[in-house]
Every structure is written in C-alpha cells, then in structure tokens.
Structure 1
Amino acid sequence: MPNARLSSPTRRGILAAGGALGLGVALAACGNDDGSKDSGSDSTTSAKKSGPWSFKDDRGTTVKLDKIPANIVAFTGVGAALFDYGIQVKGVFGPTTTKGGKADVQAGDMDVSKLTVIGNEWGTFNIEKYAGLAPDVLITTMFDDAGTLWYVPEESKDKIAKLAPSVGISVFDRQLTQPLERMYALAESLGADLKAAEVVAAKKRFEDAAARLRKAAKARPEIKVLAGSASADIFYVSGSNLSIDLEYFKALGVNFIEPPASALKASGGWFENLSWENVDKYKADIIMMDDRAQALQPADIDKPTWKKLPAVKAGQVIPRSPEPILSYDKCAPLLENLAKAIETAKKVS
C-alpha cells in the first residue's frame, strides 16, 4: 500500500501492502469485460428514497443529490460494509469472485451472483457496463492523501468521473476506528437503521473486542507479532505505520516487529521485501498473514525456510485482513482473533 503520489511502482506496491501477486501486472484496458454476471435485481438500498442527500467525503468534497442514491456502485469491500448496514449496492468493482467463481474474501456476506461486477481485477473497469447501471454515486476507499480512488484506473478516471459523483473514504495512515466511523456515518446518510439490534450488537462486540485485545497485549508484552504476506518469490513484512488495522492494534499495545525505515523506503513506507532464503530475518511468536486472494496462503507455502520458522512450527499463524471490510460486524472478529492468539501463544522467538 502506497505513498501519496502513487507512481507506477507504488501502485503495484499498494497491492503488495504486505504482499500481492499483482506485482508487474499491467493495468488492463478500461472497458474489458470480465465476464461477470449482471444482476437482474433492482437491489440498491433498503433506505427510503427521499432526499435531498449530501455527504462530505475524506477529500473534503461534498456530494449533493436531489435524493438518496438509488443506484450505488462501490468498491467490493465498501459494498460489503454497506451490506452489513442493510444497504445493498447495485454494482461493484474490485476483487469479487475467485477463479473458481466463489465469493472473494472482500465480498463479505454479499450474494455475488446478484451483483453487476464492473471489474474483478486490478485495472479492469468496464465503463460501458458502469454507464448501463445509471449510477447515482461511486463509493470507494483511498490509500493515499492525494485523493486517489482505489481500483478506479488512473487512465480512465476522468471518463468515469463524468458519469456520476464519487465519495472517497480514507484508509491511509489512520487507525481503524476512524474509517469505521466514517462508513457508519455514510451508511446512516444512505438510510441505514443504526438502531437495528444487529448493528447495535456488532458495535458493542467491536468495543468489547478492543478492550480484550488491549488487556491481552498489556498482559503479554513479550509476545512479538509479525505482519506478513507471501508471493511465489517474495515474503513481505509490513511496517505498522500507514495500515489502518496495524496502526490500531499497535495503539492497543500489540508488540509488532518493525522493519527499519530504510528497508520500508522502496515501498513508500509500507513493507520490506525478503527473499524466501531470508524469511527468518525477524523472530516472531505470532505471524499474521494476508488473507486476500492475490496473496499466497499459508497452507500453500511450500518453502523449507517457512516451515522452519518457530511460529509456523508452533501453529501460531493467523489470518490478517489488510483491507478490512469497514463494518463493526466484520472488524470485531479481527480483534478477537488477534487477542486470542496473544492470550494463548507460546513464547517461541
């Protein structure tokens, strides 16, 4: 995940943010049809369609419409977060289905068979399909402080912008609670019932999980945690700055292994590249591994140096979501899982 200007290397670096197999993949031509299913449903929101509607996003841009948006197109993870608040988007772009056709981890609880997918991979965004949805608004995240809209291809962003206004939620260099609060407010503006029992319960669960993680980290400060990601040739070690989840976990007291600034520099501050021969450079008790589809998953890592790591031998490897679905329902388990890992970990480093 990138620095502010998103030059070509750092755009790929975003995907690597702890790792990705998208390194070196050229941005596909805009308008590529990814073969996704169109949705025949009129799915859009459970909100009352009254207006006017306005929302000030994290670029400082205020979008104003005559009524609450009916045709929402969003980055997949944003659509998944809104879904947890009872708001259903009409179309998505970003990782939605895996090669086997199953829902990507970033799709959350959405029924992907009922979504119009504008682009399933980095650089793909079918403008014709997007226009056909008659979008009222496009909503996505931002991984820099320059207002770059995540998964909206740079070379076609101007064409896309002409079809509907956009809303950007920042997930750059802040703690998880901030974008969570912003998505919560956005969902409310779109008509979500934040007093619904499941929404209230999810928020309470998140707060309880944060307290549990803080307690676990305080009780076991000696437990060292490494945030990693894998590709066939490279193991990525994330620094705890810039990423919303790691910044928050660190603020709660989690003891992260931190690559030196000099090692992080090439990625704009996000991560250090290690060869598999050097994967034992840092001694960790717990390893958190990137759960996104573009990353090599722990069960598929067939590297002798990996298998020899003390945390791996001890079974102390847990998933990490570098792009959390920004609902309390989806973020509470992230805290609970890390808290449990710290509570039960053997000191092996």
Structure 2
Amino acid sequence: MKHSLRAALLTSVAVSALVLTGCSGTGSDDDRADGGTGSSGAWSYEDATGTTVKVDHTPKRIVALNDIAISFVEYGLRPVGTFGQQPMTKDARFDDLDTDGITQLGTAYGDIDLEQLAALKPDLVVTSVYPTDEKGTLDTTQPSYGFKDKEQQEQVEAIAPVATVEWGGEGEDVIEHIADLSESLGADEATVDAAEKRFDTAEQALSRAAEEHDLSVVSMYADGDGAYVTRPADEPTLQMYRSFGVDFVDPKPKGFYWGIYSWENAGQISGDVLLLSQQGYQVADLEKQPTFADNAALQAGQVHSWTFPALDYASQADYMTQLAGWLDDSEKLS
C-alpha cells in the first residue's frame, strides 16, 4: 500500500480531463459500432500522456484496470481481463455485474500474471494515471496506475498497446470522456444515453437531499498507520458531489489528495456522515481505536461504504442514489 500512498489506495483511493482528440476510430461508424468484430478500420486514441495509441482495427479483446473495466461492462462492453487493487470477488462494485468470461489477472496492486495476460491475446490494455498535485501534473517517469514499476509496464506493452486515461480534475469531465472512449470501442450510444438519464435523475435526488439536510460528510481510508481523509477538490467523484451540493469536510493536514492523521490525532476528524473506504479498516476496527471510538458519526451508525464508484453514468447513478438515501436517513451531529 505504499505505491505513492494516494495511488495505491485509490480504487479506485482514488479522477482534468482525458485527452480524446484521437479517441474516435478513423474507420467508419459501422466499424466502430461493432466493437471491432471483423472491423478493418484503424482505431487511434490520444491518451493522457499525449501518446497516440494505434490499433489496425477497433479493439475487441480489451484488458482494463478494474475501475475502467466496470465502466466498460456497464456500457455493454466485455473486457477479457482485469487487474487492479483487489480481485473482483472482493470488490463490491462488481457484485451486481456479469463478470462471466472476464479473467482476473492478479489479486493485488501491481500483481499481473504476464503469461495469463499474453494468453488472452489482448488488442489493448487500458489503465489510468493520476495527477501528482492540484495543478494536474502528470509524472510520466512513473508507471501508470496498476503497474508495480516501469519494467512491468514495459512487459505489458510488449504484449499489447497500453492506453491511459487521466483520473483527475472534474468528475463530470472524466465520466464524459470515458463514455466517449467506450463508444469508440463499440458501446451502444443508446445504452450510454439511458445511463446518462439515470445519472441526471440521481443528481437531482442527491442535490435535493444535500439541500434539505445540513450535513457534513467525511470520505476516509484507515489502516494501522492512521486515518486518511480525502481532499474533495483532488478526488473527481467527490469534486462532482460537492458541485451538486454535498458538504464534504476538507482535512486539516496539508498535502495533495490526502489529509493524513496519525491515530493520536484522529480525534480531530469530525463530520455527520462517514464514507469509509471498502479497503482497509472497517467499522469494527475503528471502534477499537481509543482516539476514534467516540467519533459522533461512528457512534450514531452513520458510516457507509465508500466503494470509489466507477466514473461512468450508471455506476455514479447507483451510488448517488444510495448517498441521497443515507443523507435523508442521517441526523445532524456536529
């Protein structure tokens, strides 16, 4: 969990924009619409690093970071493999998705079975890159997200081209860009549009709940070393929810993405609702911490799982609907 603490915990602890000028294939609309099956038109994508990734047909055998694989599945695409922070069986975001035929290539961050990857014969590998500061700086000397080091990334690139998307900036921009990327890979426009309508409805519900209830919300991860409160301006999903009216607490410790509290100082964390990362310590673990056990939200049972919902319209619609319900059911504590 020390691959740049922020990167290793982003699930998806984790995001301005993807650079999609080359996202749409240069083939015909029919070529793009069939997801690459029998397609002869070339496909290209200018990724977050400025690299133009080219494939001589619309990719159909895609391996993706779990955060992105979820979005592809939501839009009707079927990745052949996935990798990331944890296996699909332990990632709550996959619980209601059909994962049949998707190969799990590893069980932890940086764990990618290269032989298994090669056996899948992928046309394309898609992962993300995170900014290193609030200005959105990308450090291309470091491996992209999901790879343990540059050597491993190069080994993957020897098997299939790797395209990166930027997980930073404004959440709605990232959602739109991932939708565009998905459509370029064969996702049906009607499927994306239907998900966007659900998103719009959920946005209205969340904005209403935020307006009606004067509640502060803390997003955090915790482990044996301490508690890590997410800085909402640096996390695209939280940035988006804040723009919809949700009052997220800014951590006091300075730093990018995280405000890091030792357990000695964790008593400074306060809010009416806690969104607790699905990775790391859970409620029972927090209750054992002397400096945190009396946290008002924890004692009131106003703690909910922060799954790092994928940045697609469908995943976000589901989570925003849940969050609106949690706000409706919570009381002001601070």
Scaled by the length of structure 2, the TM-score of the pair is 0.81
In structure 2, what is the equivalent of residue 183 of structure 1? Answer: 178
CA pair 116-228 structure 1, distance change in 2 beyond 3 A: same
Matched, 1:279 2:273: no
The alpha-carbon deviation at position 193 of structure 1 amounts to 0.9
Unaligned runs of at least 5 residues, structure 2: 14-32, 132-137
1:195 match: secondary structure:
helix
In structure 2, what is the equivalent of residue 306 of structure 1? Answer: 292
Tell me which of 91, 95, 111 is aligned to 2:81: 91
In structure 2, what is the equivalent of residue 249 of structure 1? Answer: 241
The alpha-carbon deviation at position 305 of structure 1 amounts to 4.1
In structure 2, what is the equivalent of residue 41 of structure 1? Answer: none
Tell me which of 315, 318, 332 is aligned to 1:330: 315
1:125 match: secondary structure:
coil
Matched, 1:141 2:128: yes
Aligned length: 303
Output the amino acid matched with 2:123: D
The alpha-carbon deviation at position 46 of structure 1 amounts to 6.7
In structure 1, what is the equivalent of residue 47 of structure 2? Answer: 57
Q: Distance in 2 between matches of 1:61 and 1:234?
A: 38
Q: How does 1:1-349 map to 2 (within 5 A)?
A: 11-16=4-9, 47-49=35-37, 50=39, 51-97=41-87, 102-107=89-94, 109-112=96-99, 114-144=101-131, 145-147=138-140, 148-154=143-149, 155-172=151-168, 174-196=169-191, 199-220=192-213, 222-260=214-252, 263-265=253-255, 269-291=256-278, 294-303=279-288, 304-322=290-308, 324-349=309-334
The alpha-carbon deviation at position 14 of structure 1 amounts to 2.0
Q: Distance in 1 between matches of 2:251 and 2:184?
A: 40
Provide, for residues 182-226 of structure 1, a one-character-per-residue CA deviation record: whole Å limited to 9, x for no partner: 111111111111214xx4332111112222222333344x42111
2:233 match: secondary structure:
coil
Runs of 4+ deviating beyond 4 Å: 17-20, 108-113
Provide, for residues 248-286 of structure 1, a one-character-per-residue CA deviation record: whole Å limited to 9, x for no partner: 1122222222123xx233xxx121222334322132111
Q: Is the 8 A contact 1:19 1:228 kept in 2?
A: no
Q: Is the 8 A contact 2:45 2:54 kept in 1?
A: yes
In structure 1, what is the equivalent of residue 23 of structure 2? Answer: none
Residue range with higher mean Cα deviation, 127-136 or 45-54: 45-54
Output the amino acid matched with 1:15: A
The alpha-carbon deviation at position 332 of structure 1 amounts to 0.9
CA pair 229-88 structure 1, distance change in 2 beyond 3 A: same
Provide, for residues 82-112 of structure 1, a one-character-per-residue CA deviation record: whole Å limited to 9, x for no partner: 01111111111114537xxx35224454455
The alpha-carbon deviation at position 242 of structure 1 amounts to 1.4
CA pair 133-335 structure 1, distance change in 2 beyond 3 A: same
Scaled by the length of structure 1, the TM-score of the pair is 0.78
In structure 2, what is the equivalent of residue 33 of structure 1? Answer: none
Indicate the RMSD between aligned Cα atoms, in angstroms: 2.7
Q: Is the 8 A contact 1:216 1:343 kept in 2?
A: yes
Q: Is the 8 A contact 1:94 1:122 kept in 2?
A: yes
CA pair 183-313 structure 1, distance change in 2 beyond 3 A: same
**Percent pairwise identity:** 29
Output the amino acid matched with 1:244: P
The alpha-carbon deviation at position 60 of structure 1 amounts to 2.9
Unaligned runs of at least 5 residues, structure 1: 1-7, 21-44
